[in-house]
């Protein structure tokens, strides 16, 4: 596990995220599709993909905003492109828009060279004096 994982909360740790890169312009995590993350049909639950998208986007957005405040998600749209049930996955978050009040980040999850899901998160920047 990476020393960057101190940025994760207990839920993201339970998901098995391992941050390999975390910065204001890009966040990368690897994780393992496993039975504990399956829905009843034996594939990774869509909510898991949404959670990974929200987590990585929030980390990148918070690193960009820094000491100026905190970020909270206000919209998460995730598309599930391929079903997966086991094996390693890599998720990459990159910014689309970073403004005074809001940010938008895209996150793509792949298994090898195949895209499994992609999502977009809109986050609200909360000024430090309002938190």
Any idea what the CATH number is for the domain that residue 45 is in? 3.10.129.10
Structural domain count of the chain:
1
Q: How confident is the model at residue 2 (pLDDT cuts 50, 70, 90)?
A: low
Task: Say if residues 60 and 80 touch (Cβ distance below 8 Å).
Answer: no
In a domain? residue 1 = no
Task: Say if residues 95 and 103 touch (Cβ distance below 8 Å).
Answer: yes
In a domain? residue 126 = yes
Expressed as residue numbers, the domain containing 62 is 20-82+91-130
In a domain? residue 14 = no
In a domain? residue 2 = no
Query: How far apart are the C-alpha atoms of 75 and 23, rounded to whole Å?
Result: 21
In a domain? residue 9 = no
User: How many beta carbons lie within 10 A of that of residue 107, not counting itself?
Assistant: 26
pLDDT per residue as tens digits for the range 3-27: 777 878 899 999 999 999 999 999 9
In a domain? residue 121 = yes
pLDDT confidence of residue 8: 87
In a domain? residue 116 = yes
Q: Which of 3-17, 37-51, 115-129 has the lowest mean pLDDT?
A: 3-17
pLDDT per residue as tens digits for the range 76-96: 999 999 999 999 999 999 999
In a domain? residue 107 = yes
pLDDT confidence of residue 131: 60
Residue 1 has pLDDT above 60, yes or no: no
């Amino acid at each position: 596990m990476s020393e960057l994982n101190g940025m994760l909360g207990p839920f993201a740790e339970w998901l098995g995220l391992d941050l390999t890169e975390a910065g204001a312009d890009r966040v990368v995590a690897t994780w393992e599709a496993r039975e504990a993350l399956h829905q009843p049909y034996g594939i990774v639950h869509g909510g898991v993909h949404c959670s990974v998208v929200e987590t990585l986007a929030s980390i990148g957005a918070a690193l960009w905003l820094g000491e100026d405040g905190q970020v909270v998600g206000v919209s998460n749209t995730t598309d599930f492109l391929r079903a997966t049930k086991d094996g390693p996955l890599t998720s990459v978050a990159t910014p689309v828009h970073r403004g005074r009040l809001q940010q938008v980040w895209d996150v793509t999850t792949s298994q090898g060279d195949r895209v499994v899901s992609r999502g977009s998160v809109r986050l609200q920047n909360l000024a430090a004096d309002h938190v």
